[in-house]
Structure 1
Amino acid sequence: MAPSATQFELAQPPNDAISAVAFAPDSPSRLLVSSWDKNVYLYDTLATSGSSEEENPSHGALLRTFEHRAPVMDVCFGAHGREAFSAAVDWQVRHIDLETGDQTVLSKHEAPVRRVVYSREHSILISASWDSTLHIHNPSNPSLATLTIPLPGKPHAMAASPSKVIVAMTSRLVHIYDLSSLASALTAQTNDPPQPWQQRESSLKFLTRAVAAMPSDAGYATSSIEGRVAVEWFDASAESQARKYAFKCHRQAGGDGTDVVYPVNALAFHPVHVSTFASAGGDATVALWDADAKRRMKVYQKFADSVAALAFSPDGRYLAVAVCPGFETGMEDYSGEGRTRIFVRALGENEAMPKGKGK
C-alpha cells in the first residue's frame, strides 16, 4: 500500500513478525515495536527523510534498536517516553533505558513471558508468563522484591485500565485484579498474594487472543482466535452484566457459502473517544467500532498480510498498524522478512468519533 496523505509506511521495519506496538504516553510520534527477530525498535513516526521531489519519500526514522537474546513477545513504555519494558522468550522481563540503551533484567520467570503492562497511576509493572504466574514490579524502587501471583492457567492476553488489570488465560479463564491492591501488596512485601478482584469465564468460546481496557475504566473488550469480539463491564450488578455482548467479525465469505473465519489479533481503545475501539484480524483488515452503540463505524482498505498489532497515539490522532504474515495457513516455511511492514494512519478530526456524537 503506497503512502498517502492520511496513511504512510515507516522505513526500516523489523525483519520478522511483529508482536506488539506502543506509543509513548507523552508523545504522538515515539513508537516502540517488538519483534520475533529478537529486537525492540524505537521510531520517530513523524520524522521525514528524502527530498520533497521524490515520488515516495521515506517516512519515519528508526531512532534505535535494542537487541535481546530471544524473540520479544511484548513491549510497553514506562512512566515516560524515555523508558520501556520488554517480555521475551528467554523468560526475562527487562527495563530498557531508551536514551542510553542500557538494559536491566527486572525478573526471570520459569517460561517465556507473554505480556507486560505498566500502570502509570500506580507506578507498577505487571508481567504475565506461560509459567502461569504474574510478577509485580516497582521499577522505581528496586529494593522491593518482586511479588509473584500464581494463576490457574497460562496467560495469553493482558491489559490495564486506570484501576484494574485484566488477565485472560486458557480454559476461558479471566481474572481481574485491583491495581491499588497489587501496589499495596508489593510495598508491604506480603507472602500472601492478593486474590483477584473478580473471576470470570470468557464470553467467547475459543482461546482469547487480545484484551483491551476502556480508558473510561468502565470495562474491557476481548477477542478470540475464532473471529469474535466481546465487550464487558466491570460493574458486577445484574443490570450492568446484562449489557455485555459479543459479535462476529473479521470473516470473509467462502466459495461454498460458508464464512472463512480469522483470528482477531489485536484490540485498542481510542484515548479520546473512549467508546471507540479498533480491531485487527488475520483477514488483513482493521475496523473501528462504537462499543456503546454496538455498531461498526469503519473498515479500512485491506492490507497485504495479517494485521498483528495496533496502537493509538496518546492524543488519538494516529493509529499504528503492524502488518506481517500470520499463521492462518500453517507455519511451514514461515518468514516475515520483506513482508513485515508498519503503517501509521493520521485520523481525520471526526474519524474515530461515534456517529451519534458528530454534527
Structure 2
Amino acid sequence: MFATTNQPTSSDFEVSSPPTDGISSLVFNSQQDLLSATSWDNQTRIYQVMPNGSTQPKAAIQHEGPSLSSAWTKDGTKLLSVGCDKAGRLMDLNTGQTVQVAAHDAPIKSVRFIDGGNMNNVAVTASWDKTVRYWDLRTQSPVSQLSLPERCYTLDVMYPLMVVGTAERHIFLYNLTNPTTIFKQIQSPLKWQTRVVSCFQNGSGFAIGSIEGRVGIQYIEDKDQSSNFSFKCHRDDDKKQVYCVNDISFHPIHGTFSTAGGDGTFNFWDKDAKCRLKAFSNIGSPVSCTAFNKNGSIFAYAASYDWSKGHEYNTQQLTNKIFLHPVKEEDIKPKQKKLGR
C-alpha cells in the first residue's frame, strides 16, 4: 500500500528515541518546547526540543496499558496522561513524581485541561465507559460527571466551548460556563464514523474529521450556520481509495489548520478562504497525529500505522517515528480576502 517507509520532507528533524508501538497523540507544552507523545507501548514520553531542531528524551509516564491522550497544565509544569488502564496519571516535571488523579470504568480516550472562568486547571476526561468527568486535581473524586449515549471517540476544549464526539456520529456541545448541561446536540454532518474534533482558536466552532476522507467545518451559533461546509481530503481518486482523517490541528496564531491522513500526507488549510494552503508529499506511512508548538513555528507529526486497513497492512517496514517540520509563514498564513466590488 505504501511505496516508501517513513520518509519525511528533507528539512524535517527526526525525534530521537521514539515510541516503540503505535503513536496515538502529540501535544506541545504551552510555555516551552516540550513535546509529549502517547503510545500503544504503554508509555507517554516527554521530549525537549532544542533550538537547532534536535531532541532529548526528558521523562516518561508509565501506564499499565496503551496510552491514548495527554494534556499539559496551563503553567506547563505538569502533564496528565490517560489510557487503556482506565487511569489518569499526573507527572510533576519539577519533582519527577507521578500520581494517579483520575479514573474511569473503561479505557480513557481523551483528556484536556480547561482554562477559563471558574474552571481554571480543571481536567476533563472522556471514556469508552460513556461518561465525561471533570476533575479538580486536589481531590480524588470527580467534581461532576456527564453521561453519554455512546463511547467517546474524541474531545476538544477551547474555553468556553467543549466538543465531544462519540460512536454513532453523536456530537455534543457544551458551554463551560454551565459545564453539566448540554448546550447543543447534533448529528455529525459527515456520513461516516467520527475520528477527530478540533476547536477553532476563537471558540466559535470546530472542525470534524471522519474515516472516509472528509472534514466538516461547523459553527456553534445558529446565525452562523450558513457558513458550515465540508470538503474531501486524503483520498486517491485515481485508485478510488479513501483514507481516515486521523488528526486536525489549528495554528495558534493564524487560525489556519492542518489535516493528517491514513494516506501518508498532511496538508495546511484556510477555512475562511476555503482553500488548501500547502500540500506535503507522501511520507510512506499513515500520519497518525499532529501538533503545533506554542507559537506555531514547529509542526510535529507522527509516522505510525493507524490500523484503518487491518492488521495485515502493519508490516515491519512501517516503524514508528516522530518528525518536526519547521513551519514557513507563507505556508500557513491565511489567504488575503478579496474585496467585494
Q: Name the TM-score, length of structure 2 as normaliser.
A: 0.91
Contact 2:135/2:143 (<8 A) preserved: yes
C-alpha separation in 1, matches of 2:152 and 2:8: 37
Q: What do residues 194-251 of structure 1 show as CA deviations (whole Å, max 9, x unaligned)?
A: 22111111101111101110011111000000110000111123xx111100111100
SS in 1 for 2:146: strand
1:157 aligned residue: 154
Distance apart, 1:60 and its partner CA: 1.0
Is the 1:157–1:210 contact (alpha carbons within 8 Å) kept by the matching residues of 2? Answer: yes
1:45 deviates by 1.8
The question of whether the paired residues in 1 share the 8 Å contact of 2:285 and 2:318 is answered with no
Residue 212 (str. 1) matches residue 195 (str. 2) = no
Cα pair 1:44 1:63 within 8 Å, conserved: yes
State the secondary structure of the residue aligned to 2:330.
coil
What is the CA deviation profile of residues 132-162 of structure 1, one whole-angstrom value per residue up to 9, with x for unaligned ones? 00010122x3277431111111110111112
1:322–1:342 contact (8 Å) kept in structure 2: yes
Following superposition, the deviation at residue 115 of structure 1 comes to: 0.4
Are the structure 2 counterparts of residues 145 and 348 from structure 1 closer, same or farther at C-alpha, using a change threshold of 3 Å? closer
Match of 2:30 among 10, 13, 25: 25
Structure 2 unaligned spans of 5+: 1-6
Equivalent pair of 2:61/2:89 in contact (CA under 8 Å): no
Q: Is the 8 A contact 2:61 2:81 kept in 1?
A: no
Is 1:328 aligned to residue 328 of structure 2? no
CA–CA separation in structure 2 for the residues paired with 1:196 and 1:19: 28
RMSD between superposed Cα atoms in Å: 2.0
The residue type paired with residue 181 of structure 1 is N
Report the residue type matching 1:146 in the other structure. Answer: V
Contact 2:101 2:140 in 1 (8 A): no
Identity of counterpart residues, as a percentage? 29
Contact kept in structure 2, 1:167 and 1:174, CA below 8 Å: yes
Q: What code does the residue aligned with 1:202 have? A: S
Distance 1:2 1:154 in 2: 34
Structure 1 counterpart of 2:124: 126
Aligned residues: 329
8 Å contact from structure 1 (residues 47, 60) kept in 2: no
Deviation at 1:11, TM superposition (A): 1.0
**Whole-Å separation in 2 of the counterparts to 1:3 and 1:252:** 20
Query: How do 1:142-153 residues align onto structure 2 when only pairs under 5 Å count?
Result: 142=139, 145-153=142-150
**C-alpha separation between the residues in 2 aligned to 1:136 and 1:78?**
14
Partner residue, 2:100: 105
In 2, the alpha carbon distance for the partners of 1:143 and 1:343 equals 37
Structure 1 residue corresponding to 2:286, chosen from 299, 306, 312: 306
1:68-94 deviations in Å (ceiling 9; x for gaps): 111101111112222011111011122
Aligned counterpart for 1:87 among listed residues 74, 82, 101:
82
Give the deviation of 1:355 after TM superposition: 2.0
